[in-house]
Structure 1
C-alpha cells in the first residue's frame, strides 16, 4: 500500500501561538515534564471541556483506525488519565492493554477509571517515558497514542519506540493537535487553547508526519479534522 501523504512533507518543531515560548528559557527535561503532569493531573481532566468536547468526538476515530478485533495485545503510549484507555479496554474483550505514561498522577486517575468499569483484569499500567519503553520488541499487535505527540519532549523517539514494540504487521494509530486553518479555529487557538497549552503544559501544535516514515512505518494514511486542527496518522509495521 502506498503512503497517502502527498507532496513534500515540511517538518517543523516550531510551536505556534502567542509567542509565549519566550517565557521558557529552555526545554523542560523528562523529569520536569513528569513532575508537571503529576502536579497537574487534575487539570488534564479539563481538556475535553476546554476543547468544547472535540477531543472526545475524535477518540473513536483513533480506535477505529487501529482495526482491533478484540483479541489483540495493545500498548497505549502516553495514556494520560485514561479516556482513550476506556475505549481500548472495552474493545479488547479477549485481549490485553498496556497503558504507559510518564506521570504517576495521571496513571492513578486512569487506573481508577478502568477499575470503575470493571475492566482492570484486561489492563496493566506502566510508569515510563514514551521515548524509552520498558517493553520487549515485536510484542504488540497495535500501538495507540492519543493527543500526546504534541506534548512529549521529542516525538521522534516515541514513534520509533512504537515501531520497535510492534509485531510485523502491527498497526499504529495516533492523533495529535495540528495547525488550524480556519479563521474561527485560529481565533480559538490564539485566545484560549494555545495559551492554555503553553502556560500549563508547555506544548503546542506540531508537524511530525515524516517521523513515521523514518521509523519504518508503511501504508501511512494522514487524516485531518476541523480544518487541520486535529491530525490523525495510522499505518503498519511491515
Structure 2
C-alpha cells in the first residue's frame, strides 16, 4: 500500500470506528492501555503551566490527562479524523476544559505550529498509522521547545517465546473477531495487526528517534513487549 492509499484507508477506518473506539480499546487491550498511559504520565512529570501537543489525539483521553496535569497550561490535540475529534470534544466539554484544550483537525506530517512551541509533544497509538514515520518525528522535534521532550506510546512486538506466539495468534486471529462481535467492524479491526507488521520494533524506533536528532533517547517495553514507550529530548541548540 503506497503512502496516499494508506492515509486514505486509515482515515476511513478511524472515521467508522470512532463511536466505539474507547470501548474497543478497553476490550482488546484488557484495559492495559490505561496502565501504559499512567506509566507514561509518571515519566513525563508535567509541571503546572507547561504546554503540550497531543498528536493523533483520537477521543482525547491523553489530551485530557495532559491538561489536568498542567493545571492551566495550554493543551492542543490534533487528529485527522473529524469523527474522533467530535467524540473527544464532547468529553472536553463535559469536563469543562474547553478553555484550556483546543482540538484541531490536521496532518501529523505537516504540523500547523511555529518552531519551539510546546514543552511536550506526544503521540499515542498513532505513529504506526502514519505513512512517513521519520517525517512525523521531525515535525514533533521541530515544534517542541529546546530542552522539551517527545513521547511516543505505541503497540510493539514481543520477542520472547512462547508469549510471542500467543500474542500474534490473539492479535491476528482473535482481535478481528472481537471487532466483528462488539463493534460490527471486522474488516476495520484487521487493520490493527496489519499496521504492526512493517512498524519498527523497540530498538529500531529508538534508533529513528536518534536519527532525527533527539537526545537521551529511552525505550521502555510494556506488558512483555506488547506496547512500548519511547522518549526523546530536544537539544538546547533548537531545531
Query: TM-score, length-normalised on structure 1?
Result: 0.82
Runs of 4+ aligned structure 1 residues displaced above 6 Å come to none
Q: Secondary structure at the match of 1:75?
A: strand
1:4-40 CA-to-partner distances (Å, cap 9, x unmatched) read xxxxxxxxxxxxxxxxxxxxx6553423322321122
Q: Secondary structure at the match of 1:81?
A: coil
Q: Is 2:80 the partner of 1:83?
A: no
Q: Which has the higher contact order (CA 8 A, sep 6+)?
A: 1
> 5+ residue gaps in structure 1?
1-24
| TM-superposed deviation, 1:151 | 2.2
| 145-154 vs 213-222, which moves further | 145-154
How many aligned positions are there? 214
How far, CA to CA, are the matches of 2:172 and 2:113 in structure 1?
Answer: 33
1:227 and 1:104, CA in 2 relative to 1: closer, same or farther beyond 3 A?
Answer: same
| TM-superposed deviation, 1:119 | 1.3
Match of 1:41 in 2: 18
The one of 200, 210, 226 aligned to 2:223: 226
Indicate if the aligned counterparts of 2:206 and 2:217 stay in contact, CA closer than 8 A. no
How far, CA to CA, are the matches of 2:70 and 2:87 in structure 1?
Answer: 20
Match of 2:111 in 1: 133
How far, CA to CA, are the matches of 2:83 and 2:63 in structure 1?
Answer: 15
> 5+ residue gaps in structure 2?
177-187
1:190 and 1:119, CA in 2 relative to 1: closer, same or farther beyond 3 A?
Answer: same
Indicate if the aligned counterparts of 1:102 and 1:128 stay in contact, CA closer than 8 A. yes
1:97 and 1:228, CA in 2 relative to 1: closer, same or farther beyond 3 A?
Answer: same
Q: Over aligned residues, Cα RMSD in angstroms?
A: 2.0
Higher fraction of helix: 2
| TM-superposed deviation, 1:149 | 1.6
Match of 1:199 in 2: 190
Match of 1:174 in 2: 152
How far, CA to CA, are the matches of 1:152 and 1:74 in structure 2?
Answer: 20
The one of 193, 207, 211 aligned to 1:210: 207
| 59-68 vs 106-115, which moves further | 59-68
1:121 and 1:216, CA in 2 relative to 1: closer, same or farther beyond 3 A?
Answer: same
1:90-126 CA-to-partner distances (Å, cap 9, x unmatched) read 1121201010111101111111111111112110011
1:102-157 CA-to-partner distances (Å, cap 9, x unmatched) read 11011111111111111121100111111111111111111111122222222211
Query: TM-score, length-normalised on structure 2?
Result: 0.82
How far, CA to CA, are the matches of 1:182 and 1:74 in structure 2?
Answer: 35
1:117-196 correspondence runs (5 A):
117-183=95-161, 185-195=163-173, 196=176
